[in-house]
Structure formats: C-alpha cells, structure tokens
C-alpha cells in the first residue's frame, strides 16, 4: 500500500507541526542575520495605505495630469466656460442654438448674440432658466446674468448725415 506523497510515513498532523517548527526556525535565523547586518526587523506589521502611492516622477493618467495642470494654473473655470461654448447646442437645444451663440463670459456675465430681435427677446425671457442651466454645467454661482444682443445691422438706411453734425436732431434743422 502506498503512502500519500510528502508524508514520509508520518501523520498529517505531525507533518504540519514539523513544517511550522521549520518555518519558525528559518524566521528566527533570518532575524538573526538581519541583526548582524544592522538591519533590525520591524516589530509591527507594515500598514498599507489605500491605493497605490505615486511619486511625482511616476507616469500619470492623462486626465489626472490635465486636471492637476488646470488646477495649478487656475484655468478650471475658463476651460469649463469654453466647454459650454463648444456644447452650446446640447445645453440650450437645437432650435435656440441655431439662432443664438455665446460671445463672451466675464465676471459672471454671459453675453449672447441673437440673429433677430425676436430671438433676442426670447432669450431675454428665458434668461433666468438659462442662468440656472449654465450653473448646473459650470457650478453653482458661476453665471449671474445673461446679457443679450440683437442683430448688429450697422448703419440705419435712409438717414442722410451732414459731416460735422451732432446726431439725428442736427439733420433736420
């Protein structure tokens, strides 16, 4: 009759006890060797922090590196506003976007231009909900006011001007 491999004619309990004793002996020997070399073993177990610890020289994920750069330079809001300008159609809807476009954003005020006075009036009526929607995208309190410009038609037709005049009242008298 054959015996199980690795038992050497011993019972499993006896074999496990010998294995544990051998491991303790090897551990004690390693500690003694470390002590002779001046490398004392740690008395408490090592604690691992959650997640990998990165060195500044380690490669980083692209998105994280960009976020860090934007935060470092203070460009987060400018980039967010640029994103809103780029996604204007998604934010305001295709119909409104086909007749309006954002022009500038400064000090919490968004300047929107409309292609007709009717659409400029429509945007003025929707200004409060537009501010609310933009603040959902950019962060609460970023946009305070929406200012709307109608179409820029240039010089009004039919008005004769005299060189050196001081305005419309000057041409009639």
> How does pLDDT run across 65-80, given as a tens digit for each residue?
888 877 888 777 677 6
User: Is residue 133 a contact partner of residue 123, using CB atoms and an 8 Å limit?
Assistant: no
pTM across the whole model: 0.49
Q: Phi and psi (nearest 5°) for 8?
A: 60, 30
Q: Which two tokens stand for residue 105?
A: 């954003």
pLDDT of 143: 84
pLDDT tens-place string over residues 43-54: 555 565 666 666
Residues spanned by the domain of 103: 99-152
pLDDT at 128: 92
Are 108 and 145 in contact by the 8 Å Cβ rule? The answer is yes
Residue 76 lies in a domain: no
Q: Cβ atoms within 10 A of the Cβ of 75, count?
A: 12
> Per-residue pLDDT tens for 8-18?
556 666 777 77
- Does the residue 137 lie in any domain? yes
**CA pair distance 53, 50, nearest whole angstrom:** 8
42: its two tokens: 């740690």
Average pLDDT value for residue range 122-143: 86
Distance CA 85, CA 169 (A): 42
Give domain status of residue 146, yes or no: yes
Whether pLDDT at 162 is above 70: no
> Which residue(s) pair with 114 in the sheet?
100
**Does residue 6 fall inside a structural domain?**
no
- Whether 110 is covered by a domain: the verdict is yes
What phi, psi does 68 have (nearest 5°)?
-65, -40
Give the least confident one: 24-28, 79-83, 129-133, 153-157.
153-157
Residue 80 lies inside a defined structural domain of this protein: no
Buried b (16+ CB within 10 A) or exposed e, 22-40: eeeeeeeeeeeeeeeeeee
Position 134 in a domain: yes
**Structure tokens that stand for 148 in this block:** 């709307």
Average pLDDT (1-12) is: 50
Structural domain count, the chain:
1
Q: What is the mean pLDDT of residues 68-96?
A: 80
Q: Is the pLDDT of residue 82 over 60?
A: yes
**Which of 101, 152, 154, 153 has the alpha carbon at shortest distance from 123?**
101
pLDDT value at position 50? 66
In a domain, 41, yes or no: no
Please indicate whether residue 45 or residue 173 has the higher confidence score (pLDDT): 45
């Amino acid at each position: 009759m054959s015996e199980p491999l690795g038992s050497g004619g011993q019972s499993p309990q006896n074999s496990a006890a010998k294995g544990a004793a051998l491991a303790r002996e090897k551990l004690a020997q390693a500690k003694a060797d470390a002590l002779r070399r001046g490398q004392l073993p740690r008395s408490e177990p090592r604690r691992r922090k959650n997640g990998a610890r990165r060195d500044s020289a380690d490669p980083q994920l692209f998105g994280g590196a960009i976020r860090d750069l934007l935060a470092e330079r203070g460009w987060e809001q400018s980039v967010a506003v640029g994103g809103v300008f780029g996604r204007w159609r998604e934010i305001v809807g295709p119909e409104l976007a086909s007749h309006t476009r954002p022009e500038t954003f400064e000090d919490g005020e968004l300047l929107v231009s409309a292609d007709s006075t009717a659409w400029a009036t429509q945007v003025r009526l929707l200004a409060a909900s537009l501010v609310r929607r933009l603040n959902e995208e950019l962060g609460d309190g970023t946009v305070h006011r929406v200012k709307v410009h109608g179409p820029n038609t240039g010089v009004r037709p039919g008005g004769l001007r005299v060189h050196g005049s001081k305005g419309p009242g000057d041409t009639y008298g």
